[in-house]
Amino acid sequence: MPPQPFGEASIRPILGPALLAFAALLAGCDEAEPPPQLRIAGADPARGRAVITERGCGSCHVIPGIRGAVAWVGPPLLEWSRRAYVGGRLPNAPENLVAWLRDPQAISPGSAMPSLGLTEREARDAAAYLYTIGTAQPVPAGMVLGPGQGGPRAEARLRPRGDQ
């Protein structure tokens, strides 16, 4: 039997496991220690991941590290630790994120973000997990966004500073 040419049929058995391994590597890429100003004393990112999964946050958001969290109803939570604002109104700081997760309508009335009835501990843990997203590869404040990172605007924009 002559050898088969290299093609789709010859790589299919290899492709599945390779993609799974790559996806597993990506899932853990962002879980790094947040910078000191974003750490939440007593909160546990692992418990936060469970809260985010159990409460169905992925039905509205893209959330790295959360299986099935690929919805675009709300904003994607990519690079959360680098975001400048919570709910479009408050500086991105642990106490503001916890308050937002507990009662988003109190911060931004009319927001599409529903109240999930999180306890203080659940909100703190969820916030701790969110602050692990985007810490793996620091990007200096003021660095020009790359192609496709600035949304629909054609003109160049700068990354927001996290200390504002």
What mean pLDDT value characterizes the chain?
78
Is 15 part of a structural domain of the chain?
no
Q: Give the CATH number, domain containing residue 52.
A: 1.10.760.10
Map tokens 């936060």 to a residue: 48
pTM of the model: 0.66
The percent of residues in the chain predicted with pLDDT above 70, rounded, is: 63
Is 14 part of a structural domain of the chain?
no
Q: Is the pLDDT of residue 32 over 60?
A: yes
Min mean pLDDT across 15-19, 36-40, 147-151 is at: 15-19
Q: Is the pLDDT of residue 150 over 70?
A: no
Is 118 part of a structural domain of the chain?
yes
Q: Give the range of the structural domain holding residue 48, as residue numbers without chain letter.
A: 34-139+157-164
Q: Is the pLDDT of residue 68 over 90?
A: yes
159 dihedral zone (left: phi>0; alpha: psi -120 to 50; beta)? beta
Encode pLDDT of 33-57 as tens digits: 888 889 999 999 999 999 999 999 9
Number of domains making up the chain: 1
Q: Is the pLDDT of residue 153 over 70?
A: no
Is 40 part of a structural domain of the chain?
yes
Is 89 part of a structural domain of the chain?
yes
Do the Cβ atoms of 104 and 54 come closer than 8 Å?
A: no
- Which two tokens mark 8? 């789709």
pLDDT of residue 100: 98
H or E segment and range at residue 121:
helix 120-130
HSE-CB for 84 with a 13 A CA cutoff:
9
Encode pLDDT of 94-120 as tens digits: 999 999 999 999 999 999 999 999 999
Is 8 part of a structural domain of the chain?
no
Is 128 part of a structural domain of the chain?
yes
| Helix, strand, coil tally for the chain in percent (to 5) | 40, 5, 55
Query: Does 129 or 7 have the greater pLDDT score?
Result: 129
DSSP assignments along 33-72, one per residue? PPPGGG--TT--HHHHHHHHHHTTGGGT-B-TTSTT-B--
Is 23 part of a structural domain of the chain?
no
